[in-house]
């Protein structure tokens, strides 16, 4: 077996794109089964299959020593995934501007960019299917971008609007780390989730990280009502002690637990 072939086998798990990908399990029917790519929560054309990259594409990433070789080897869908990461980062910057100026339109902008990140999270898979082209870096890029847009960014908004006690921050940290763990688990376990007749995974293990958007919309509502900072609903528990925290913060912990749950199966749409 050639070196390239062994490298192909070693890196086979990298041939995916988007944060939720379905891979056919039965490799006895075809020697090189196609892969399926769908978005994190939904797909307009979920039954379309994408062929795996061939060995030449592995060599392009591993052995290509040209200038800007990484950029040369990215697919169009990968650039759209990077826009998801950009949206998440700009949301964080908008939160920082809010904390510096106190102007609420900055935190509203932060919510907008997270929603824009969701659009790119869906659109990259759509473009890949239209071009019938899979990506070596797709899954890794998508998971990292999702962590920024749907993990770190919402937690930053929460801190900016008033969840700022020590315990609040620890709960937000737990929430982000659960999202990180959930994405990592998906990358290694997607192929083992039971499939339907079309080769599509039957369910999500735990809440997908884009479900954090529920908190984004809730916090946007709080901003709209001006129920932020000292006006957060529910008040503080253990006020004026080291252990004080906002009651609502418990929801972040519960959401995080739902994301890393293995027994919680969410049917795929």
pTM confidence score:
0.77
- Would you say residue 79 has pLDDT above 70? yes
Residue 30: per-residue pLDDT: 41
**Lowest mean pLDDT across 3-12, 229-238, 242-251:** 3-12
- Strands 203-205 and 265-267 come out as antiparallel
- Tokens of residue 58, six digits: 């592995």
Q: What is the pLDDT of residues 160-182, one digit of tens each?
A: 999 999 999 999 999 999 999 99
Residue 53: per-residue pLDDT: 63
Q: Is 189 helix (H, G, I), strand (E, B) or coil?
A: helix
- Would you say residue 223 has pLDDT above 50? yes
Q: Residue 73 carries which DSSP code?
A: T
- Tokens of residue 203, six digits: 């369910």
Q: Which of 4-13, 22-31, 66-75, 214-223 has the highest mean pLDDT?
A: 214-223
Q: Residue 136 carries which DSSP code?
A: S
Task: Name 213's Cβ contacts closer than 8 Å, sequence gap at least 6.
Answer: 114, 115, 118, 150, 154
- Would you say residue 190 has pLDDT above 60? yes
Residue 71: per-residue pLDDT: 77
Confidence of residue 126 (pLDDT cuts 50, 70, 90): confident
- Tokens of residue 159, six digits: 């801190």
Could you tell me which residue, 31 or 245, shows the higher pLDDT?
A: 245
Alpha-carbon torsion, ordered 151, 191, 120, 136, to 10 deg: 110
Domains of the chain as residue ranges with CATH: 41-189+205-266 (1.20.120)
Q: H/E element holding 98? A: helix 76-101
**Residue pair 32/83 in contact by the 8 Å Cβ criterion:** no
Distance of CA 180 to the CA centre of its chain: 9
Residue 230: per-residue pLDDT: 92
Q: H/E element holding 76? A: helix 76-101
Residue 54: per-residue pLDDT: 63
- What does pLDDT average to over the chain? 79
- What is the spatial distance between Cα 160 and Cα 97, in angstroms, rounded to a whole number? 10
Residue 6: per-residue pLDDT: 44
DSSP assignment of 201-263 equals BSEEES--GGGGHHHHHHHHHHHHHT--GGG-TT-EESTTSTT-EETTHHHHHHHHHHHH-SS
Could you tell me which residue, 96 or 64, shows the higher pLDDT?
A: 96
Confidence of residue 222 (pLDDT cuts 50, 70, 90): very high
- Would you say residue 26 has pLDDT above 50? no
């Amino acid at each position: 077996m050639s070196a390239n072939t062994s490298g192909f086998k070693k890196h086979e798990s990298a041939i995916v794109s988007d944060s939720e990908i379905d891979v056919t399990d039965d490799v006895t029917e075809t020697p090189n089964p196609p892969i399926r790519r769908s978005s994190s929560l939904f797909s307009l054309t979920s039954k379309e299959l994408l062929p795996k990259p061939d060995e030449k594409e592995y060599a392009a990433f591993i052995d290509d020593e040209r200038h800007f070789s990484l950029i040369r080897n990215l697919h169009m869908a990968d650039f759209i995934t990077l826009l998801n990461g950009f949206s998440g980062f700009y949301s964080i910057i908008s939160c920082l501007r809010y904390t510096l100026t106190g102007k609420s339109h900055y935190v509203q902008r932060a919510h907008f960019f997270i929603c824009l990140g969701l659009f790119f999270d869906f659109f990259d898979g759509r473009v890949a299917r239209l071009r019938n082209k899979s990506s070596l870096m797709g899954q890794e890029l998508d998971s990292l971008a999702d962590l920024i847009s749907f993990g770190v960014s919402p937690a930053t908004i929460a801190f900016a609007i008033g969840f700022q006690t020590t315990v609040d921050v620890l709960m937000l940290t737990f929430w982000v780390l659960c999202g990180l763990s959930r994405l990592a688990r998906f990358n290694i376990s997607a192929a083992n989730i039971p499939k339907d007749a079309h080769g599509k995974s039957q369910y999500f293990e735990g809440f997908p990280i884009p479900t954090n958007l529920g908190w984004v919309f809730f916090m946007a509502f709080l901003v709209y009502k001006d129920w932020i900072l000292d006006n957060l609903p529910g008040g503080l528990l253990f006020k004026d002690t080291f252990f004080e925290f906002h009651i609502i913060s418990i929801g972040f912990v519960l959401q995080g637990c739902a994301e890393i749950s293995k027994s919680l199966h969410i049917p795929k749409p």
